[in-house]
Structure 1
Amino acid sequence: MSDPRELVDELTGDLKRWLPEQRWFAGKDRPVTGVRVLGVTELVEGDPQLLHVVVEVEQDDRREPYQLLVGRRTHPPEISSGSWIGAVGDLNAYEASGDLDVTGVLLDLMAREDTVGSLVFEHEPDAELETGLRARPISSEQSNTSLVYGGQYILKLFRKLTPGKNKDLLLHRALQGVGSRHIAPVLGSITGDLGGEPTTVGMLQHFVADAVDGWAMATTSVRDLMAAPELHAEEVGGDFAGEAERLGRAVAEVHADLAEALGTESVDAGELERTTKAMAARLDTIAGRVPELAAHAPALRAAFEKLEALPPGSVTMQYIHGDLHLGQVLRTVGGWLLIDFEGEPAAPVEERHALRSPLRDVAGMLRSFDYAAQQLLVGQPDEPALVERALEWSQRNRAAFCEGYAAVAPDPREQGELLRAFELDKAVYEVGYEHANRPDWLGVPLASIARITSGEGMTP
């Protein structure tokens, strides 16, 4: 059989076409100009064959590493048509995360704490892992890929790699160390090599089988309201406000746990100025690509500049979630759990690891309530009654979330200028994301920016 590295080298032309079609690929707004193989590790030899592959994807002047699981076998596995990459020798190669016959090896290697090539498989000191389980992929994920083993474990494979220990693993371990009630326990990890630096490529956690994600719950509530637009949000059977309040408490408790585990810092005037400049720079970049945003630029800049007038020491910085929204929380029989602590997928690694105000997470969740309220209206004719109900639902749940948060920590509404600036900055980020990935949704963040900057009913 040919050398595994040579087999993957034959795929680079096919990968230029295939990568932008994957939902977890982050650079869909730019053409792929080149693919270079950085590393290949053979995990299963023979037929079927499983290779762990790291490639560097070139897009104009940007180069970013991604990890793949590449399979080859005589008898085709039952996988989606989009998983097929191309022909290599006499067999077709495919993205193998959906191949139940080979992915079980990842858990087995972790249970044995094996090292294969540059990949180190480890379990947590107090974890005892069952072996021989088959895996199934979760289809709803976007920026990463997760495999569920026997309804007991979930292994997240980080698609776009960054050198060093992944923030998701770092914060989960920190929270676990102080006994946080709002995370799923970490059970193990996979570490590879990127440019000579140990790099997290996978994280294993306990799988919570009874969990429902917050986005599904919230949008079901909105759907119930839209089906009876003559009623108010509190009159509909699926009212979400009670859950929003409990979620606010959970987020505040996680912030307190992170502060206990990893400490806090006070912000000085220089940091507030740098924050304002970073927001303005993001605005300028995205407004240059999205003409519809340019009209709001003066009002947005004015909101950002108000941060420089805040008293030094009035803002506390710490580790936070960094990309908090309703899709990053799970409701279980025991309460709310937070997941995916990586931060914004498009943010540079140093930005993801930077200490930030907890109000950024609050602002992210407020934005998510607005998204949940408006998602059924995307692409639909403008119906004033439904638009009014959507805004009412958003306001009700934003307020409930802040009430829950304020029961544990300082009320975020007491720092209104800061919270408003963070929410607007998040909305600007959303404009850039929607423009690149979902143009039909562009009106959601743009409408929110218009309401917030005009003061029309968007306060929590």
Structure 2
Amino acid sequence: MTQLEELLAGWIPRQRWFAGKGIPIDELTVESQHVLITGLPGLRILVVAVSQEGAADRYQVLLGLRPAGTLGADLAHAEIGTAEVDTAAGAKPQWCALYDAAHDPELTAEILERLAGSTPNGASANAVRFRRLPETTIRTGLRSLVLSGEQSNTSLVYGEDYVLKVFRRLWPGHNPDLELTAALTGSPFVARVHGWLEVDLTDEHTATPVPTTLAMLQEFLRSATDGWVLAGTSVRDLYEMPDTAPGDAGGDFAGESERLGSATASVHRELARALPTDLLGPGAVTELAESMVERLHSAADQVGELKPYTARLRAAFDAFAELEEPLPVQRVHGDYHLGQVVRTDAGWVLLDFEGEPAVPVAQRQRLSSPLRDVAGMLRSFDYAARYQLVEHPRAEELTGTARAWARRSRDAFCAGYAAAGGIDPEKHLTVLRAFEYDKAVYEVLYEARHRPSWLRIPLDSIAALAGGTPSTQ
């Protein structure tokens, strides 16, 4: 390894967005470097290939360079290390402090400048290309700030105007977040796209270069409040008066749930108009159900607490496999929950159409039933109702209150979704139940691996959905 690669091999596993935590790195190579600012301070975009247990993943690193020993206190937390680097063509190598440039507003200003078209983009083969939507004007001179809380990506807010989402894990192809949000341009339910960065990456299956999204610039929603936060506040207020019905509580969430259901249906309709749709016949539905059964048994083998419920879950998947009518499919959000929506002064806005970042782009682009998104949001209501009961001293007493809040929110969301022209979930319970159970099985596996204290949330939900007590079959 080079000095840079050795430093990255020690730094990348500590980053929140690194997907291979706990697995030794077999090999790390800098696949490509793209210089945006030469000299010092300097800015480069690196595509880094990381091999672990025979599989390779690519990651994007915004690399900042400054003279060794000059990294100030405001950038010390972003330091990668010190190495000897060629800072400019023909110049003598210098010892430089290397760091994550996402945290350096002096350098990230260059990205905004290039997106605005204020500097040449040098869009030659294999170079980073800066794209701007037609008839879009981008303001420059805005200072950036990294948003906290993200895990799979890094978002930079420029002033109060834009947010730049930097995709950390890279898969060849146009990121679905860009693809779907751009298709929804003009919708009041999404944040407007202004531009994006892309580079060619080689697809390992076809050995051909494929335009790949590095980052996306969107409108920053100044008045936005996270849907998960709003729902959690409603539940917390209700827990303070457990003898009150959810509909009588001051922070009742049902109205917001209904409006969110309506916004979701509108987005699904617009996606169906703008992008391909299809109908799955019985054979394709059976294959989909079989994949659900496979995930169920795999999860049950790993999490013993799930085994008592496998018979009832399997019955729901088998019922789905026997569906007689064709199943309408289209492009959907793909990872839909309360953390992917925000409430603004104007209403609900849907975010993060990326889907599951750990899945290749080609798989995320597959058509699916819009009820998959509905099921994801219904599961999220259940989580919002129950997560505050983890280790709560009055958890048993408040369980009924949690279920009542979740049921009221579910019913309101489904009513709003159907009223706005979406598939009526109440008339397609076999499909909805299969997607809900499939999501709950995923949650069981996730919680067992990452948050064991939360495992009861999906298990209790499965018990309730499946009829109360576990099956002994």
TM-score of the superposition, structure 1-length normalised? Answer: 0.92
1:76 and 2:71 matched? yes
Counterpart for residue 401 of structure 1: 413
SS in 1 for 2:107: coil
SS in 2 for 1:193: strand
1:324 and 2:317 matched? no
Distance of 1:291 and 1:13 partners within structure 2: 40
SS in 2 for 1:284: helix
Could you tell me how far 1:213 is from its partner in structure 2? 1.3
Counterpart for residue 448 of structure 1: 461
- C-alpha spacing 1:452/1:120, structure 2 compared with 1 (3 Å): same
Choose from 182, 192, 205 the match for 1:185.
192
How many correspondences in the alignment? Answer: 446
SS in 2 for 1:169: helix
1:145 and 2:154 matched? yes
Counterpart for residue 247 of structure 1: 260
CA RMSD of aligned residues (A): 1.9
Contact 1:77 1:99 in 2 (8 A): no
Contact 2:171 2:361 in 1 (8 A): yes
Could you tell me how far 1:455 is from its partner in structure 2? 5.3
User: Which has the higher Rg, Structure 1 or Structure 2?
Assistant: 2
Counterpart residue identity of residue 116, structure 2: A
Choose from 17, 23, 26 the match for 1:24.
17
Distance of 2:214 and 2:356 partners within structure 1: 17
Could you tell me how far 1:84 is from its partner in structure 2? 2.6
1:221 and 2:221 matched? no
Which of structure 1's runs of 4+ aligned residues deviate more than 4 A? 77-82
SS in 1 for 2:285: helix
Contact 2:275 2:330 in 1 (8 A): yes
Choose from 97, 101, 118 the match for 2:106.
101
SS in 1 for 2:223: coil
Matches within 5 A, 1:193-208: 193-195=200-202, 196-208=209-221
- C-alpha spacing 1:377/1:260, structure 2 compared with 1 (3 Å): same
Matches within 5 A, 1:356-371: 356-371=368-383
Counterpart for residue 92 of structure 2: none
Counterpart for residue 373 of structure 1: 385
- C-alpha spacing 1:412/1:455, structure 2 compared with 1 (3 Å): farther
Counterpart for residue 37 of structure 1: 30
Could you tell me how far 1:63 is from its partner in structure 2? 1.2
SS in 2 for 1:87: strand
Counterpart for residue 88 of structure 2: none
Deviations 1:160-215 (A, max 9, x none): 11111111111111111xx4221111110101121122101111111111111111
Counterpart for residue 86 of structure 1: 81
Contact 2:286 2:322 in 1 (8 A): no
Distance of 2:295 and 2:360 partners within structure 1: 13
Counterpart for residue 90 of structure 2: none
1:310 and 2:318 matched? no
Could you tell me how far 1:450 is from its partner in structure 2? 2.0
Deviates more, 1:364-373 or 1:227-236: 227-236
SS in 1 for 2:8: helix
Contact 1:303 1:417 in 2 (8 A): yes
Distance of 1:291 and 1:198 partners within structure 2: 43
Distance of 1:228 and 1:396 partners within structure 2: 17
Q: Which runs of 5+ in 1 are unaligned?
A: 1-5
Deviations 1:290-321 (A, max 9, x none): 232233322222211111211132x2000111
Deviations 1:320-367 (A, max 9, x none): 111110011111111111111111223332321000000000000001
Counterpart for residue 163 of structure 2: 154
Deviations 1:79-136 (A, max 9, x none): 5765332232343322221112211111111111613661001111110111222111
Distance of 2:412 and 2:444 partners within structure 1: 26
Distance of 2:266 and 2:230 partners within structure 1: 21
Counterpart for residue 12 of structure 1: 5
Deviates more, 1:212-221 or 1:231-240: 231-240
Counterpart for residue 383 of structure 1: 395
Distance of 1:261 and 1:412 partners within structure 2: 23
Counterpart residue identity of residue 437, structure 1: H
SS in 2 for 1:295: helix
Q: Percent identity?
A: 47
